[in-house]
Amino acid sequence: MHPVCRRLRRHLLFTLFFLPSLVSAHDLEIHGSNTIGAALAPMLMTGFLEQLTGEPVTVSATGNANEAVLGTTRAGEPLTVLVAAHGTSTGFTSMAASQADIWAASRRVKTNEIEAMKSRADMTEPSSEHVIAIDGLAILVHPSNPVAQLSIETLARIFAGEITNWSAVSGPDRLIQVYARDDQSGTWDTFKELVLAGRYTLTGEALRYESNDELSKDVSRDPAGIGFAGFASAGNSKLLAIADGDAPALKPSKLSVATEDYPLSRRLYLYTPGATGQPLAQAFIEYAQSQAGQDIVAKSGFFSQNPFAVDPMYDAGVPDTFKRLTERYQRLSVNIRFAEGHTKLDNKANRDLLRVQAYLEQTGKTGRDLMLIGFADKRSDELRAQMVSELRARSASKALRELGTIVAGHTGYGHYMPVGSAGGDAGAQRNGRVEIWVRR
C-alpha cells in the first residue's frame, strides 16, 4: 500500500474509533432543551417525516436517557433523526462543535453564544432564529394549597429561601419545599432571568430536576411544595396567578400565553447556523413554522402561533374609553413586539404577520376588518408615551401593507394598561406591544 494511503487509512480509523462524536450516524440531529425534546420535537419530526416520505415513522430508544431515534425510509433508503434532550446549553455546545444540525432552546440565544457562532452565522437573523411555540412557565403548588397568586418579587424571595413558611403568604403554617430545574435547563435559565433577575440566588435547599414532568409530579404529591415547569407539564399540580409589578395577576391561559401577556411566558426556539445548514433541517424548520406544524404544537400541550379570535374579558381596571374602542372587535391571539428601539419588528412578529394574513384569508376578512392598538412602557411624559405607542401601531400597519394587506385602523393607547412592571427589561418589552383586534 502506498505510504500516503496508509497514513489516510490510519487517520480515518482514528477518526472513526477515537473521535466518534465527529461522525454522525444519523441524517439529522436535534440537541438541546428537554422542554422541546421530550415530546414536541419528536411529534413535529414525526409529522414532517410522514409528509416528506409518505412512510410510517418509528421511534426507538438509544439506551441513553432523554434520547430517541426516529426512523423511516425515503426512496427505499433508511432515514434516521436523533433527538437528544439534555438541556438547552448542551444543544448550543453540540451545535458549536458541529455535532447538531438544529439546536432546541427554551430561552433566547445569549450574547456569548452569538459571539461564539459569528464566524458561521448571525444567530439573531431570521435565517437562524425560529420561534416554534410559546410556553408559559407555570408556577406549581399542591392542589390543596389555598394560595392563589403571588407577585414575582414574592416568588423570588421564596425560591431564594428568604420566605420559608407558607403562612407568610396567607397559606398554612407549613415549611416551604422548593423544587427547581437543573443548571443545564433552558427552563431554569428563563426562571433565573424572569424571577430571580440577578438579585436573588436559588436556595441550596431546592430539589433539582432534569425533567419538567418529574418535577411537576413530585410537587403534586407534596403539600409543602412549590416549583416551576413548562405549562405543558403542569399535570395534577395547581397553577398560581402571577403579578408583575402593578400589572394585574394573570394565570397562564390559552390567550394570555399566546399573546405573551402572562408575565412568565416564554418563546421556544429552534436555531440553525443560517440558511447554509443541512437542507433537511431547513425543510423541517419550514414545516414546524407552517399551519400544520403549529397544529401539532397545540396537540403537544404548548401554545400554537396560529391566530385565533376571542371576545375580550375586561377586568375592573380597563378604562371605559378602551371598552368603547374595542366594543365591536375580538382580540386576536397575536401581539406584535419589537427587536430594538420603538419600531423594528422582531423575528417572530414578521412571521406572525404572515399568519395574520392567512387568518384573514381563511375567515373571509380583509385588512379593513383589523384594528392595531399600540402601547408603550411607562414614561414620565404622557405625550411621549402616546407618540411611541402610535409609532408602533404605524410600523405594524406599514409592515402589513408591504405584504399586501392594507389596515384601515391603527391607534396608540400610550402607557396605559401595562402587562408588566414599568422600566424593567422584561416588563418594558412586554408593555411595548401592538395588539391586533378583528371586527366581529
CA 21 – CA 41 distance, rounded (Å): 22
Domains of the chain are: 28-128+272-300 (3.40.190.10), 136-258 (3.40.190.10), 307-439 (3.30.1330.60)
**CA nearest neighbour of 373 among 422, 308, 317, 312:** 312
- Residue in this structure with the C-alpha cell 400541550, named with its chain if needed: 301
User: Would you mind telling me the total number of residues written for the chain in this entry?
Assistant: 440
Mean per-residue pLDDT of the chain: 91
Q: Please compute, for residue 343, the number of CA atoms within 13 A of its CA located in the half-sphere on the CB side.
A: 10
pLDDT band at 268; cut points 50, 70, 90: very high
Taking only Cα atoms into account, the Rg of the chain, rounded to an integer number of angstroms, comes to 23
Q: What percent of the chain has pLDDT over 90?
A: 78
Report the pLDDT averaged over residues 58-85. 96
Which region among 329-333, 351-355, 400-404, 426-430 has the lowest average model confidence (pLDDT)? 426-430
Q: Higher confidence at residue 50 or residue 246?
A: 50
